[in-house]
């Protein structure tokens, strides 16, 4: 236990240079509270990371996710930001195949969040419409994991002004799901409340400045998940940290971070952002 703690202290709050497949092997077992990352998508970022064929993506990712499974605490969470690629007029199935392969590896696919990009610019294609969202897949090692829903509550909304002022008798009892899912609702639970739990759709703008990196998500995105799944002092890992956004978010919330970046250029950008605090 002492050796594990000393090892973590030696790499905490650092951006480590190298392929995450190799660097992850230096991190102790069951030591990370939250992994949040956006790896290179299939055939994208060719000038940044060389690009990975969608047909080879699962084979490339699975050894890396095996190391992530090893270092994540049983109470921890893994958030994976990933998106399908359109090939020959249809969406490639590599993301779906990856989910199944990770499930076979031992991951629990617990939830799926949608990042709706509020400032998505228009476009036109012959056989599809413009994407304005991306997946954020939640994986866990165990069914019981740390989750701080109160930390991300949102205003109850205008619907409460009318809906909660006209309650029927059925609103005052638990209405079980008609499909026997085990879920139900009791409307009058929300009377007098100013905040409620959010949905799994996150309405956030994209990053307006790319930080000299080909794919940057907004600081607001990892910040939200860090609030939801960790406490101050916990350790956040981003194995594909790029320009350092996850580390910026973790530092701002009094969490420790470990970043891994394969290219020296982006490691330097991330470290400069951390020094400047933005």
| pLDDT tens, residue by residue, 161-209 | 555 555 555 555 455 555 555 554 555 555 556 788 899 999 988 764 5
Q: pLDDT tens for residues 139-152?
A: 999 999 999 999 99
Q: Which domains does the chain have, with CATH numbers?
A: 13-122+129-153+197-276 (3.40.50.150), 156-195 (no CATH)
Tens-digit pLDDT profile for residues 24-48? 999 999 999 999 999 987 875 555 4
Residue 150 CA neighbour count, 13 Å, CB half: 2
Strand-pairing partners, residue 86, are 91
32-41, 48-57, 217-226: segment of lowest average pLDDT: 48-57
Task: Look at the block and give the residue holding tokens 């990053």.
Answer: 207
pLDDT at 213 over 50: no
Written as six digits, the tokens of 120 are: 């998505």
Token pair recorded at residue 27: 């991190």
Write out the two tokens for 35: 């992994």
Q: Could you tell me which residues come within 8 angstroms of residue 264 by beta carbon, excluding any fewer than 6 positions away?
A: 17
d(CA 132, CA 246): 22
Q: 153-189 burial, b if ≥16 CB within 10 A, otherwise e? A: eeeeeeebeeebeeeeeebeeeeeeeeeeeeeeebee
Running DSSP on this structure, what letter comes out for residue 129? -
Q: What is the pLDDT of residue 127?
A: 80
d(CA 43, CA 268): 25
Closest alpha carbon to 252 in 217, 214, 213, 226 = 226
């Amino acid at each position: 236990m002492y050796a594990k703690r000393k090892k973590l202290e030696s790499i905490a709050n650092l951006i480590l240079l190298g392929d995450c497949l190799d660097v992850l092997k230096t991190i102790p077992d069951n030591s990370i509270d939250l992994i949040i990352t956006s790896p290179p998508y299939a055939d994208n970022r060719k000038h940044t990371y060389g690009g990975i064929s969608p047909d080879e993506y699962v084979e490339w990712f699975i050894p890396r996710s095996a190391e992530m499974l090893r270092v994540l605490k049983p109470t921890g969470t893994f958030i994976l930001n990933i998106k399908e690629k359109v090939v020959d007029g249809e969406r490639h199935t590599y993301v779906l195949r990856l989910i199944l392969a990770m499930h076979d590896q031992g991951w629990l696919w617990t939830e799926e969040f949608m990042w709706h990009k509020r400032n998505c610019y228009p476009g036109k294609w012959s056989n599809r419409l413009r994407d304005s969202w991306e997946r954020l897949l939640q994986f866990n090692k165990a069914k019981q994991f740390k989750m701080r829903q109160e930390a991300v509550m949102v205003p109850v909304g205008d619907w409460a002004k009318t809906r909660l002022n006209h309650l029927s008798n059925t609103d005052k009892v638990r209405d079980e799901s008609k499909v026997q899912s085990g879920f139900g609702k009791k409307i009058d639970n929300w009377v007098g409340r100013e905040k409620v739990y959010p949905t799994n759709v996150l309405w956030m703008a994209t990053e307006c400045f790319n930080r000299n990196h080909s794919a940057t998500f907004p600081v607001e995105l990892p910040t939200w998940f860090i609030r939801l799944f960790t406490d101050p002092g916990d350790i956040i890992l981003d194995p594909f940290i790029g320009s350092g956004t996850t580390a910026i978010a973790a530092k701002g919330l009094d969490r420790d971070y470990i970043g891994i970046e394969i290219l020296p250029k982006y490691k330097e950008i991330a470290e400069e952002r951390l020094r400047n605090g933005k």
